[in-house]
Amino acid sequence: MLRITLNRAVSAAILIVIASIFSFILIAAFPGNVAALIAELRGGFVSQEVVDQVALEYRLNDPLILRYFHWLGEVVQGQLGHSLRTGESVAAALAERLKPTAILVLGGSLVTLIMGVSLGFAGALWPNGLADRLIRAFAVFNVSLPKFFLAAMLIYVFGVQMQLLPTFGFRGPASWLLPCIAVGAVPGALLSRLIRVGLEEAMAKPYVITAKAKGFARRRILFRDALPNIVPVFLTAFGMNIAFITQSSLIIEPIFSWNGVGAYFVEAARFRDLPVLQSCLLMFSVLFILVNLAVDLIVMMADPLQRRAKRG
Domain containing residue 211: CATH number: 1.10.3720.10
Residues 151, 54: one domain? no
Last residue of a domain, one of 76, 110, 137: 76
Which range is least confidently modeled, 193-197, 265-269, 284-288, 298-302? 298-302
Residues 118, 222: one domain? yes
Q: What are phi and psi of 164, to 5 degrees?
A: -95, -35
Residues 62, 204: one domain? no
Give the structural domain span for 22: 2-76
Q: Note the pLDDT of residue 110.
A: 93
Q: Is the predicted pLDDT of residue 241 greater than 70, yes or no?
A: yes
Question: Which residue did the predictor score with more confidence, 174 or 3?
Answer: 174
Q: Note the pLDDT of residue 114.
A: 92
Residues 155, 212: one domain? yes
Residue 88, in any domain of the structure = no
**Residue 214 neighbours by CB distance under 10 Å:** 8
Q: How far apart are CA 206 and CA 44, in angstroms?
A: 76
Number of structural domains in the chain? 2
Query: What single-letter amino acid sits at 264?
Result: Y
DSSP letters, 3-16, are: HHHHHHHHHHHHHH
Q: How far apart are CA 66 and CA 200, in angstroms?
A: 56
Residue 197, in any domain of the structure = yes
Residues 43, 101: one domain? no
Residue 117, in any domain of the structure = yes
Residues 295, 214: one domain? yes
Residue 244, in any domain of the structure = yes
Q: Do 211 and 180 meet the contact criterion of CB atoms below 8 Å apart?
A: no
**C-alpha distances in Å from residue 80, one per residue of 15, 24, 83, 88, 279:** 20, 12, 9, 11, 6
**48-83 pLDDT, tens per residue?**
777 777 777 766 777 878 888 888 888 888 888 888
Residue 86, in any domain of the structure = no
**278-297 pLDDT, tens per residue?**
888 888 888 888 888 888 88
Residue 236, in any domain of the structure = yes
Q: Is the predicted pLDDT of residue 91 greater than 60, yes or no?
A: yes
Residues 243, 302: one domain? yes
Residues 187, 274: one domain? yes
pLDDT band for position 225 (50/70/90)?
A: confident
- Of 101-115, 142-156, 158-172, 232-246, give the range with the top mean pLDDT: 101-115
**93-122 pLDDT, tens per residue?**
888 888 899 999 999 999 999 998 889 888
Residue 156, in any domain of the structure = yes
Q: Is the predicted pLDDT of residue 46 greater than 80, yes or no?
A: no
Residue 194, in any domain of the structure = yes
